[in-house]
Amino acid sequence: MMRIAFTVPGPVVPWQRASSVGTRRFTSTRQRGYQASVRMHALAARPRGPWLPSKAQRYRVDVEAYLPDERRRDLDNIAKTILDALNGVLYLDDSQITTLLVATHVDRERPRVEVHVVELERVEVPPRPRKSRAARVTCRPRAQKSAAAGEAS
């Protein structure tokens, strides 16, 4: 089971909406630089050797952000920056993450982000048996009242 832990020094750069000009979208230089730093630290922490990813694999990610001040920040934007940066580095896509913990703390002396990624045990779930199409049809046409019964009333 893979367990990777690494620290990204410096204050976190939360995800920001991409600006757009016409139909083109641009991610800020600051955000791209921070994500490159996250990828670099993750690659340094990843074990050497071949990396054989699987779409079936699931992960738990813990993100602890130590902020330089007490300003309000959205936890989801902090997580999104980190998770997007790790796509293709520690997992194929962040949709493979089934458990996510995000916490913030204040550390004025040493702002940083500590990330822990754990590969979860694979649990094979047997597929549900499929019913044949004929077995799913349960509706029957209504019986039509005879015209004589309607006139007798």
In a domain, 111, yes or no: yes
Specify if 137 maps to a domain: no
Residue 16 lies in a domain: yes
pLDDT of 23-35, one tens digit each? 666 667 878 899 9
Q: Which helix (H) or strand (E) holds 119?
A: strand 112-119
| This model's pTM is above 0.85 | no
Determine how many CB atoms are found less than 10 A away from the CB of residue 144. 6
Q: Whole domain around residue 77: which residue ranges?
A: 3-124
| Number of structural domains the chain divides into | 1
Residue 109 lies in a domain: yes
Q: Tens of pLDDT along 116-132?
A: 999 997 766 677 777 66
Mean pLDDT confidence for 55-84: 93
**pLDDT at residue 83 above 80?**
yes
Q: Between the CA of residue 107 and those of 31, 43, 86, 88, 125, what are the distances in Å? A: 21, 25, 24, 30, 43
**Which letter does DSSP use for residue 132 in this model?**
P
Is the residue at 134 inside a domain?
no
Asked whether the predicted pLDDT for residue 148 surpasses 60, the reply is no
Asked if residue 55 is part of any domain, the answer here is yes
Band (pLDDT 50/70/90 cuts) for residue 48 is confident
Specify if 103 maps to a domain: yes
Please report the pLDDT score of residue 28 as a whole number.
Answer: 73
Which CATH number fits the domain that encloses residue 72? 3.30.1330.70
- Euclidean distance between CA atoms 123 and 70, whole angstroms: 41
| Domain annotation covers residue 57 | yes
